[in-house]
Structure 1
Amino acid sequence: MKGGRLVYSKTVRITNKTGLHARPASEFTKKASSFSADITITFKERKINGKSIVGLLSAGITCGSDILISAQGEDEQLAVESMVALIQTNFGE
């Protein structure tokens, strides 16, 4: 929470077989970077910048993992909904 404002968040399960590695992580960060909102992934109590490919790759998010996607900013709801949709379509795999 920044400046006393709540953030928009949703939990989603990673279902693609490779998890958030290589190509899926690249697609995730590319899409996340298209929004002005700050996007944060919470995984196993660790907070990761959703626009950082290094952060996503080092988090070890595998198939079956539940992650919390949070965003704060002008387009926060659209950002979270778009990121959830990307994950639910298995990154087009």
Structure 2
Amino acid sequence: MQKTYKITNEDGIHARPATALVNTASKFKSEVFAEANNRKVTMKSILGVLSFGLEPGDLVTFIAEGEDASDVLEALDEIFAKESIGIAHA
């Protein structure tokens, strides 16, 4: 399962929202990855997420594989809304 977002926050994904995303992904059993800028990292690593250097207008895709994949994507969606990071991208 996967879901793509367009970054709309003027600060991109910086430490606070990255921490919220990693902490959320870490609560689930599924493997969760982020893909952006032709790279793929685990969503359970703060350094990996920050290494993207995501700016406004960039796209990031979350990929979840496992028994609670839909739940983790829903939880990440809630973080995107709560932290005003970005919007779902078709």
Q: TM-score w.r.t. structure 2 length?
A: 0.84
Moved over 3 A (4+): none
* 1:16-27 → structure 2 map (5 Å cutoff): 16-27=9-20
Secondary structure of 2:54's partner? coil
Which amino acid letter does the alignment assign opposite residue 66 of structure 1?
L
- 1:12-45 per-position Cα deviation (integer Å, ceiling 9, x unaligned): 1122222111111111101111111110000011
Q: Where do 5+ consecutive residues of structure 1 fail to align?
A: 1-7
- Corresponding residue of 1:68: 61
Please tell me whether the aligned partners of residues 9 and 84 of structure 2 are also in contact (alpha carbons under 8 angstroms): no
- Corresponding residue of 2:78: 85
Q: TM-score w.r.t. structure 1 length?
A: 0.82
- 1:30-81 per-position Cα deviation (integer Å, ceiling 9, x unaligned): 1111111110000011001111000011111112211111000110011112
Please tell me whether the aligned partners of residues 12 and 84 of structure 1 are also in contact (alpha carbons under 8 angstroms): no
Q: CA 1:90–1:63 in structure 2 vs 1: closer, same or farther (change >3 Å)?
A: farther
Structure number with bigger Rg:
1
Q: Where do 5+ consecutive residues of structure 2 fail to align?
A: 86-90
Number of residue-to-residue matches in the alignment:
85
Q: CA RMSD in A?
A: 1.6
Q: By how many angstroms is 1:92 displaced?
A: 5.7
Please tell me whether the aligned partners of residues 37 and 71 of structure 1 are also in contact (alpha carbons under 8 angstroms): yes
Q: CA 1:90–1:15 in structure 2 vs 1: closer, same or farther (change >3 Å)?
A: farther
2:22 counterpart of 1:29: yes
Which amino acid letter does the alignment assign opposite residue 49 of structure 1?
T
Q: Identity over the aligned pairs, expressed in percent?
A: 34
Secondary structure of 1:81's partner? helix
